[in-house]
Amino acid sequence: MLPRTADAVVIGAGAAGLMCAIEAGKRGRRVVVLEHNAQAGRKILISGGGRCNFTNIDTRPDNFLSANPHFAKSALARYTPREFVNLVEKHGIAYHEKTLGQLFCDRSARDILDMLENECTAAGVEIATRCAVQSVTAGFTVDTSQGTIAASSLVIATGGLSVPKIGATPFAYNAARQFGLRIVQCRPALVPFTFSPQDRERYAGLEGVSAAVAARAGGSEFREKLLFTHRGVSGPAILQASSYWRPGNTVEIDLLPGVDLAAELRGRRASGDRAEARTVAACHLPKRLADRWSAVHVPSMPVATLSDRQIEAIADSYHRWQFVPAGTEGYEKAEVTAGGIDTADLSSKTMEAKRVPGLYFIGEAVDVTGQLGGFNFQWAWASGYSAGQYA
């Protein structure tokens, strides 16, 4: 049975909501978390390929996108990756750094969820699952499928729009509008691009091929892997670039970062090499990619016969491949939602709505979006922790 009152009601038992509940509970607040799924933390369980990239030890404010890039600083400084690692170590969870400061569980993301649920129990937090919220009124009163609950603090932690099939809803944005907060337009981020029909035809047959590239969009560059898919391109470099991309804009890929292809081709020409450019490119790229690339972009001529102009054009086609994505794979495939509750309407210290005392927004619902690599969870922990000190 849902209690009729609490000190704080948290809607959404995800990363941010659970962290907030733990902190508020530790302060002696009677906290109830409402979750419409049958279990808490479903997104935690599928995160990081099932191993949960739970933080990034190199977290800095510039790993986040927001209309106000300064907003996240306060919470990120208040609750650092080290603090979350301390919690993980206190619970004896084995973890490792995979790459670039990204910390993953050795065993399973389940360890992180168990840890949060155990911390909730220790802090006296009650989690009501299968609890659908029907309406919220000022004061605060929350009508749910399990009855009505009243509380002086209300924390909205229902996340963004990504992956609706595991329970994402626009609840936070609707609640924000209801209470007069503004929304920065939402868009899928950390998401694969789709090709135009023409590009799909051009690059057909490359599905499954990957290469280490530099991907550029919206003035940012990411050096990681690109993966060709049936519908377009994905892989960490593309996911990162997608967060900075806007519809209609060009994406630029360097398929050979750190290689001076023009110099290599000139060198081969000087020695009278009869090989084609694709053979030279295939020294650095999967052969299937070099072959396909040449079929689409490169004249079929021995290197020895290329003019300077042709060499420059060939090198450019590899170093500055430009395409305009038809779009993205959308919220079904997006790891996060960029945009969200306008930070101008929230306190950066407490995450409380400036004009609605007692109402808090945390986690992915807020217009703070991390890059790939554990930053989104770090934001969830940090914003949840901050609100938990006051809710």
Residues in contact with ligand FAD by CB under 6 A are 11-17, 34-37, 42-43, 46-48, 52-53, 133, 157-159, 162-163, 167, 169, 171, 335-336, 363-364, 374-377, 380
Paired sense of beta strands 133-137 and 141-144, if any:
antiparallel
User: Residue 73, exposed/middle/buried by CB under 10 A (0-12, 13-18, 19+)?
Assistant: middle
In angstroms, what is the minimal distance from the CB of 339 to ligand FAD?
13
In angstroms, what is the minimal distance from the CB of 42 to ligand FAD?
6
In angstroms, what is the minimal distance from the CB of 163 to ligand FAD?
4
Q: Are 74 and 386 in contact (CB under 8 A)?
A: yes
Q: Are 238 and 215 in contact (CB under 8 A)?
A: yes
Q: Which is nearer to ligand FAD, 177 or 287 (CB)?
A: 177
Q: Which is nearer to ligand FAD, 47 or 317 (CB)?
A: 47
Q: Which is nearer to ligand FAD, 216 or 374 (CB)?
A: 374
Nearest residue to ligand FAD, scored by beta-carbon proximity: 14
Q: Which is nearer to ligand FAD, 12 or 192 (CB)?
A: 12
In angstroms, what is the minimal distance from the CB of 374 to ligand FAD?
5
Q: Which is nearer to ligand FAD, 58 or 308 (CB)?
A: 58
Q: Choose among 167, 160, 174: nearest CA to 131.
A: 167
Query: What CA–CA distances, in Å, run from 309 to 262, 313, 314, 377?
Result: 10, 6, 9, 49
Length in residues, the chain? 391
In angstroms, what is the minimal distance from the CB of 39 to ligand FAD?
8
Q: Note the helical H segments in 133-244.
A: 171-178, 197-202, 236-242
In angstroms, what is the minimal distance from the CB of 83 to ligand FAD?
15
Q: Are 34 and 11 in contact (CB under 8 A)?
A: yes
In angstroms, what is the minimal distance from the CB of 363 to ligand FAD?
2
Q: Which is nearer to ligand FAD, 121 or 305 (CB)?
A: 121
Q: Are 188 and 337 in contact (CB under 8 A)?
A: yes
Q: Which H or E element spans position 133?
A: strand 133-137
In angstroms, what is the minimal distance from the CB of 124 to ligand FAD?
20
Classified as helix, coil or strand, 311 is helix
In angstroms, what is the minimal distance from the CB of 136 to ligand FAD?
10
Beta bridge partners, 70, equal none
Beta bridge partners, 352, equal 360
Q: Which is nearer to ligand FAD, 158 or 294 (CB)?
A: 158
Q: Which is nearer to ligand FAD, 9 or 256 (CB)?
A: 9
Query: What CA–CA distances, in Å, run from 105 to 48, 57, 303, 370?
Result: 9, 14, 49, 19
Q: Which is nearer to ligand FAD, 14 or 232 (CB)?
A: 14
In angstroms, what is the minimal distance from the CB of 381 to ligand FAD?
9
DSSP at 364: G
Place of tokens 């941010």: 16
User: Residue 355, exposed/middle/buried by CB under 10 A (0-12, 13-18, 19+)?
Assistant: exposed
DSSP structure string for 40-93 = S-HHHHHGGGGT-EEEETT--GGGEE-SSTTTTHHHHHHS-HHHHHHHHHHTT-
Q: Which is nearer to ligand FAD, 71 or 321 (CB)?
A: 71
